[in-house]
Chains A and B, each alone.
Chain A
Amino acid sequence: MSLRARVRREDGVTLLVALGVTFVTGVLLVAVFASSRGELHLTATDTAAKKAYYAAEAGIQDYEFHITQDGNYLSYCTEPTPANPALNQYYKENTKEALKTSELKTVEVSPAAENGETLPKTEEFYALRLLPAESDKEKYPKCNRTNLVESMVEEKGPTTGSFRVMSTGFSDGETRTLVATFHNVNFVSFVWYSVYETGDPSLYGEAPSGQPATYWSECEKFYNLRPKRCEVFNNYFITGESVNGPMHTQDHVGICGKPIFGRSSTDNIEFGNGGSSVGEGYSGETGCKESEVTPEFKGTHITPAKVSAITPPPGDEELQHIVEPAYDYQGMTEIVLEGNTMTVKKDYAYNASTEKLEPTVVTKNVGYPPSGVIYVAGNCLPYSPFGPTPGYYEKGTESCGDVYVRGKYYTSLTIAAQNDVIIDGNITTETNSEGIPSGNALLGLVANNFVRVAHPVEKLYKKPSGGCKNEGYVSFRGTTYKIQDPESATHPGYCEYTNEAYKVKPSGSVTEWEAIDACDTTNETGSTHPLEPVEDLKEPVIYAAVLALKHSFIVDNFDCGSPSLGNIKLYGAIAGLFTNGMTGVFSGKTAVHGYGYNLIYDNRLQIEEPPHFLNPIQAAWQIQRQTLLTEP
């Protein structure tokens, strides 16, 4: 049969085979369709929901990133610079009607670039909403830049000091909403912050002869690790003392009697116990029985196991990169704050007639810096808080990065020094009749080394058993003094010395004096003080947040002088590497030298801080809670 004939034939089973194949294929297609339709839908919904969740997470991280970079990010509300298009108020303007998700401004999630390569955007979006504080009494609550604390920060209840950000993630029709609660944890979160609750090792001076140079620097350790010899300047809290605000120390706390910690349960009292997680974090000091250790915690005592380390940055030099050149001063500088302007004295030079350093440039009506930061640079030899005249305007210190500060401020400002900040007068701001700040201005005082309160008493040293020397030198706590007059005419039984302090130990004989325990108090009124313009301060008042990064807040000659000058009133927060308690010497609750303490926390610091105030190495604002908006 020819091919043509075979092709023309119509018999066979082709149709049946085709029908069968079609049927089977159809069955399989139905099965695949049924399977894929169900599972694809489930998978797609599931995936979209997960993407929406992680888009919401991205929104939270966006806000966390910005507020870590700039601790005042909240104060910009929805209008930061540069703009963040994801930021929304929670309510519609002048209503109490929440914005609908369709009315929110959103941004697309941008994956992080890898190896410099910019990755394509995703199709997920997020929107951020700033949730007004529940304690806000405004008719139409919103984040309000002129009333930030009341509008955004919870002011009562268990979440005092926190604010909330709501982040909604969008993906393929699915949404997930998270609420993150931020809480401020930085140096100004505490009225008292320290790493070590012992005196600064520099108080001890040079190492005794025959001992290694690290003899005293080994005191820079926690309570259980410190050598016994460091007990001399261990700080302890006693009956009659109170810490009026939240407190954080990473060390063990010495307590004797019944000091009061905190004002109410919203003040956390954190005792770190030197990194050990056991115990309560406090005990009695030498000579104080355990039965006498009865602290009263008006705040909430946080035990060491729950205390996180807050690590200070290594120095304040980063502020020098922020400050404008016109406000980057070199060497000794004096700043007198005068409301919204200030007088700046700088470029000090030695005046032979007065035997003191005096400014060669005095500029009045200087405006506050746009960045809000003033920096005083200059390295200096170590300061000793003890001495007859500890370095005020003294020859040889003109290149020191020291800044003298006093006056009244109406605008926020941070004054930072590469060496010391010396408070030589009251520092105040606008207050109400009760002394509570009534404006928004905050002052930060940041020193690499010490923040000092000027206290220029003179000291006399008892006549040693060998009698006063006609010539020679005396060394006390690391500073060597030249003996000039062997016997004081005005103070019989005491030797005298010159005001000249040698920063470098001179050659020649050095005699360690036997008894050094007297102070000349005759000059404390300031009227006859030979060291003008620095005078002793009567009941000094300081409205500021203080930070001493490598050393501590201290009163010069705190172990000297009659206690007639009253208390230091510091309204703000105080933070130092070492204890901030070296303001005086006390017997029971009575000051016998120096100043008593009246330390009060400025609640504004819970959410605001002075401009570019240094933060711990980790983020200042931290997420304390993250929850889904609705129950799953």
Chain B
Amino acid sequence: MSTLRTTVRRISSQERGFTLMELVIAMALGTVVSLAGLGFLEFATSDVSRINERVHVDQTARVALERIMLRLHTACLVTSVAPIRTGSNENEMKFISAAGGEAALSKLQLHEIVFTKPSGSKKGTLVENIYEPTKSSELYEFGKSREYTFSAKPVSTVKLLTGVKNSERSGETLPLFRYYRYYRSTDPLPTGYTATPYQLLYPTPLASSSLEKAEEAESVVKVEVHFTAVPEGVEPATFEHDRAIPLEDSAVFRNATASETTPNGPCQPAN
């Protein structure tokens, strides 16, 4: 007890301690460190949020793209009917598709994927319209020449993605949908060939305007889909606007190896 009292008395009698200057400097340093810490904290929080939004848009965009690609992968239904329909263009793709394992599929549909470009504050969108045939009795007959007619209005409309814009590559804006066909006898020969390489894809995409013609639309054997998904909210200037995610994929409409000697079309069996 006497020891404790002695110690307290000794400390209280001492005059050593922080000077005012030391205290001010310490407080200033502490404030600077705290502000820096808060700044880092705020940065980290916003970055996590930024990344979460990116992950979210990545996820939704991939799902949308996968949905489109799977539909395209199940588009070779009848060898006599081409998947890509007249009226498709770089912002709108119309194709037939159906899934299922039945011998005679019962649910042929016309899918219309429509890209609306962003305009001002309005974000770009990808929307899928689904149409069903007006007649169902004559579907899916192999080798048969059938002209399908579809309902004038879509039976359902699904918004696949909001915040879509055209992708860019080397400063060039890529169309959302690009269409390719095989070489034709009227095409200039590629380097190293002395005869038309019917089995090769013609390297230049088909012009959108040409797809108004049924003959051209029915020649499409490959489709490329390119788009960039932009997250919701204001795009911060940091990290070079890296939140936008460019995605691309392609589908080839082919049931057999393309013939080297005769012209080829989509979904052809062996020629």
A residues apposed to B, CB below 8 Å = 16, 20, 23-24, 27, 30-31, 34-35, 38-39, 42, 46, 49, 53, 131, 133-134, 154, 157-159, 161-162, 164, 166, 177, 179, 181, 183, 185, 265, 268, 270, 300, 302-303, 305-306, 308-309, 618-619, 622-632
Contact = CB atoms under 8 A, between A and B. Distances in A.
Given A302-B145, A627-B101, A627-B105, A20 B33 contact: yes
Contacts, number: 158
Contacts of A159: 103-104, 140-142
B203 interface: no
Nearest to A159: B103
A35 B102 CA distance: 42
Given A20-B37, A157-B104, A625-B77, 17 more contacts: A20-B33, A23-B40, A30-B48, A31-B44, A34-B51, A35-B51, A35-B54, A35-B55, A38-B52, A38-B54, A39-B58, A154-B103, A185-B270, A618-B256, A623-B255, A624-B269, A625-B140
Interface stretch (B62-70, B117-125, B176-184, B192-200): B62-70
A158 B269 contact: no
Nearest to B65: A46
A16 B33 contact: yes
B103 A30 contact: no
A393 B143 CA distance: 46
Contacts of B48: 30-31, 34
B31 interface: no
Contacts of A183: 142-143, 269
B52 A162 contact: no
Interface in B26-60: 29, 33, 36-37, 40-41, 43-44, 47-48, 51-52, 54-55, 58-59
Contacts of B74: 626-628, 632
A629 B101 contact: yes
B99 interface: yes
A618 B260 CA distance: 12
A618 B262 CA distance: 12
Contacts of A39: 54-55, 58
Given A31-B44, A34-B48, A42-B62, A623 B101 contact: no
B50 to A, nearest CB: 9
B93 interface: no
Contacts of A31: 44, 47-48, 51
B256 to A, nearest CB: 6
A631 B66 contact: no
A35 B33 CA distance: 27
B162 interface: no
B72 to A, nearest CB: 10
Contacts of B270: 185, 308, 618-619, 622
Contacts of B206: none
B51 A46 contact: no
Interface string B135-163: 00011111111000000000000000000
Contact of A185 (B29, B99, B269): B269
Given A622-B269, A625-B140, A42 B101 contact: no
Contact of A179 (B78, B101, B140): B101
Given A23-B37, A42-B55, A158-B141, A308 B101 contact: no
A181 B103 contact: yes
B98 A627 contact: yes
B99 A628 contact: yes
Closest 8 CB pairs of A and B: A38-B55, A632-B70, A622-B269, A618-B270, A27-B44, A158-B141, A179-B101, A628-B74
B47 A623 contact: no
A188 B220 CA distance: 32
Contacts of B51: 31, 34-35, 38
| Chain A interface SS verdict (over half) | mixed
Contact of A302 (B55, B76, B100, B143): B143
Nearest to B101: A179
B269 A308 contact: yes
Contacts of A619: 256, 269-270
B269 A49 contact: no
9 contacts: A30-B48, A31-B51, A134-B103, A159-B104, A159-B141, A268-B144, A309-B262, A624-B142, A625-B78
A268 B141 CA distance: 10
B99 A631 contact: yes
A34 B55 CA distance: 9
B40 A49 contact: no
A625 B99 CA distance: 11
Contact of B256 (A30, A34, A179, A622): A622
Contacts of A30: 44, 48
B69 to A, nearest CB: 8
B225 to A, nearest CB: 14
B79 interface: yes
A231 B83 CA distance: 41
Nearest to A183: B142
Interface string B204-246: 0000000000000000000000000000000000000000000
Contact of A42 (B59, B138, B271): B59
B100 A629 contact: yes
Nearest to A624: B142
A157 B103 contact: yes
Nearest to B143: A268
B71 A632 contact: yes
A42 B40 CA distance: 28
Nearest to A275: B262
Contacts of A618: 256, 259, 270-271
A308 B78 CA distance: 14
A34 B145 contact: no
B89 interface: no
Contact of B102 (A42, A53, A134): A134
A523 B33 CA distance: 123
A618 to B, nearest CB: 3
B167 interface: no
Given A34-B52, A53-B73, A158-B141, A627 B33 contact: no
Nearest to B73: A628
Given A34-B48, A131-B101, A626 B66 contact: no
Contacts of B43: 27
Contacts of B271: 308-309, 618
B268 interface: yes
A450 B145 CA distance: 34
Contacts of A179: 100-101
B88 interface: no
B166 interface: no
A386 B66 CA distance: 66
